[in-house]
Amino acid sequence: MKLSEAANIINGKLEGDPEAEVTGIGKIETAEDHEITFISNPKYEKYFDSTKAGCVIVSDGFEVTDNNAGKNISLIRVKDPYNSFLKLLEKFDIKEDITDIGISESCSIGTNVKTGEKVYAGINVVIENDCKIGDGTRIYANTYIGKNSILGKNCLIYPNVTIYKDTVIGDNVIIHSGTVIGSDGFGFARQEDYTYKKIPQTGNVVIEDNVEIGSNTSIDRATIGETRICKGVKIDNQIQIAHNVTIGENTVIAAQVGIAGSAKIGKRCMIGGQAGIVGHIEICDDVIIGSSVGVSKSITVPGIYTGYRFRPYREDLKIEARIRNLDKLEERIKKLESPGK
């Protein structure tokens, strides 16, 4: 597209030749002269001097230094370079026509299964009795869908996904390969002889609209009632969500997080990789939990929480600063205790 088109799409101010063309998007470190790139993080401003990109999307306040003032490079100035870049990325992401429609001959379809229009089920897909599959949903090879499950419209289920019975999935849900939805929660009652008796897991999993779930993630069915993933939630790869957990709208969870049973997580939260959340606690809306943080009690105040044992972000920084000064403090104490030396 022409740079004038790109600037119009992202509502930006172009500094350069409006008739110049770009044919794709590249990383600022490796982009070629026919590509457009962006700078949103100040850490990447250093690459502006060396990039070969034909155009760079920058913030309104980006300053061209004396070192690169003579560069023959166009700029598009915007309020938010990152989201502007995403808009252009969508334009350049040319999707193939969706031709995957129909039921493969190798599928196993149970009785009383209702499918909408333009549904696709690939090789070796198993759909058990009494399921409902919405219009435009695509289910790829070797996926299993347990009886009495409901999949909404325009869902995308990648190969080798397992969906247990009674699962309810909304519209526009994406589930990546290897994920298991609705497996038994980890429920065992200790007996007098120290053996463990399995607690029946009789509930289900409900996944609302516009949720995306990464690969090799497990979401357990409820012991009683439901495990619920609310609309707009984005879940990364290799995450464990236990029985009766509720995750609020538009929360995002990075890889290898573990959430124990009956925890309730609010709306618009962000949970960093490898964080661990104990069971039966509540996390309020608009909380950010850093990576590898252990959350052992409820959080009732929005904010950023970090540290091995979670603390408010600023408090954790103060403690870290004190720890770094321990060697200096030790030397001062030794001098005070031995003034003659």
pLDDT for 52-102, tens place per residue?
999 999 999 888 876 555 467 899 999 999 999 999 988 887 665 566 889
Question: What pLDDT, on a 0 to 100 scale, did the predictor assign at position 98?
Answer: 61
User: Is the pLDDT reported for residue 119 higher than 80?
Assistant: yes
Question: What pLDDT, on a 0 to 100 scale, did the predictor assign at position 21?
Answer: 92
Question: pLDDT tens-digit profile of 299-322?
Answer: 999 999 987 767 788 887 888 888
Question: pLDDT tens-digit profile of 176-203?
Answer: 999 999 999 999 999 999 999 999 999 9
Helix, strand or coil, per DSSP, at residue 275:
coil
Q: Provide the residue type at 262 as one letter.
A: S
* Cα–Cα distance for residue pair 169/192, rounded to 1 Å: 40
- Would you call 35 exposed, middle or buried from its count of C-beta atoms within 10 A (0-12, 13-18, 19+)? buried
User: Is the pLDDT reported for residue 139 higher than 90?
Assistant: yes
Question: pLDDT tens-digit profile of 220-247?
Answer: 999 999 999 999 999 999 999 999 999 9
Evaluate the CA torsion angle 22, 23, 29, 33 in order and state its sign: negative
Question: What pLDDT, on a 0 to 100 scale, did the predictor assign at position 166?
Answer: 97
Q: 16: closest CA among 65, 81, 75, 96?
A: 75
How far apart are the two ends of the chain, measured CA to CA in Å? 76
* Cα–Cα distance for residue pair 229/220, rounded to 1 Å: 11
Question: pLDDT tens-digit profile of 320-334?
Answer: 888 888 888 888 888
Give CA angle at 218 (217, 221), nearest 5°: 150
Neighbouring CB atoms inside 10 A of 215's CB total 16
- Strand 188-190 vs strand 196-198: parallel, antiparallel, or unpaired? antiparallel
Q: 112: closest CA among 127, 122, 134?
A: 127
Question: What pLDDT, on a 0 to 100 scale, did the predictor assign at position 341?
Answer: 58
Question: What pLDDT, on a 0 to 100 scale, did the predictor assign at position 151?
Answer: 98
User: Is the pLDDT reported for residue 276 higher than 90?
Assistant: yes
Mean pLDDT taken over the chain:
92
Encoded tokens for 231: 């609309």
Question: What pLDDT, on a 0 to 100 scale, did the predictor assign at position 329?
Answer: 85
pTM of the model: 0.81
- In the set 34, 176, 243, 280, the catalytic residue is 243
CATH number of 102-316: 2.160.10.10
- Percent above pLDDT 70 for the chain: 95
User: Is the pLDDT reported for residue 278 higher than 70?
Assistant: yes
HSE (CB half, 13 Å, CA atoms) of 309?
3
- Its CATH class, for the domain covering 3-92, is alpha beta
- Annotated active-site residue 280? The verdict is no
* Cα–Cα distance for residue pair 258/274, rounded to 1 Å: 7
User: Is the pLDDT reported for residue 2 higher than 70?
Assistant: yes
Helix, strand or coil, per DSSP, at residue 213:
strand
Question: Which residue ranges make up each domain of the chain?
Answer: 3-92, 102-316
Question: What pLDDT, on a 0 to 100 scale, did the predictor assign at position 94?
Answer: 63
Torsion of CA 211, 263, 168, 255, to 10 degrees: 40
User: Is the pLDDT reported for residue 339 higher than 80?
Assistant: no
* Residue carrying the six token digits 């038994």: 184
User: Is the pLDDT reported for residue 288 higher than 70?
Assistant: yes
